Amino acid sequence: MTAPELLVDVGVASVRRLGRFDATARCSCGWSGRRRLLVAAAEQDAWAHAMRDSCEVSTPLVLDW
Ligand SMILES: [Zn+2]
CA of 24 to the centre of ligand 1 (A): 14
Give bridge partners of residue 62 from the DSSP assignment.
Answer: 15
Write down the pLDDT at residue 9: 77
27-36 long-range contacts, CB within 8 A, separation 24+: 27/53, 27/55, 29/53, 29/55, 31/55
Are the C-beta atoms of 33 and 51 separated by less than 8 Å? no
Give the pTM: 0.83
Neighbours of ion ligand 1 (CB under 5 A): 11, 27, 29, 31, 53, 55
Summarised one tens digit per residue, pLDDT across range 23-55 is: 999 999 999 999 999 999 999 999 999 999 999
